[in-house]
Amino acid sequence: MFAEQNKDTSTHEWIKGELRRRGSSMAQVSREIGVTQGSVSLVSQGLHRSQRIERELANALDLTPEELFPERYPKASKSQT
């Protein structure tokens, strides 16, 4: 299966654990933004992209989406004016 090749279980498990440590969960994040828990899980595993879900997961962890998912947000070129 193609999607399995892009699955990031280490980030997914870290997010779940960190949410739990903060008294939250993926289910809670999904309820707060009105999407299924499966959708949140697929995004955290890297199997789907949703800037909205990435942003909400990052917010729940006091991070930016760029900090939480650096591989999904290429850095802007420093040579831009």
**Hey, what are 7's tokens?**
């699955």
* pLDDT tens-digit map of 14-65: 999 999 999 999 999 999 999 999 999 999 999 999 999 999 999 999 999 9
> pTM for this structure?
0.82
Q: How far apart are CA 10 and CA 80, in angstroms?
A: 34
With residues binned 3-state (H G I as helix, E B as strand, rest as coil), the percentages for the chain, rounded to 5, are 60, 0, 40
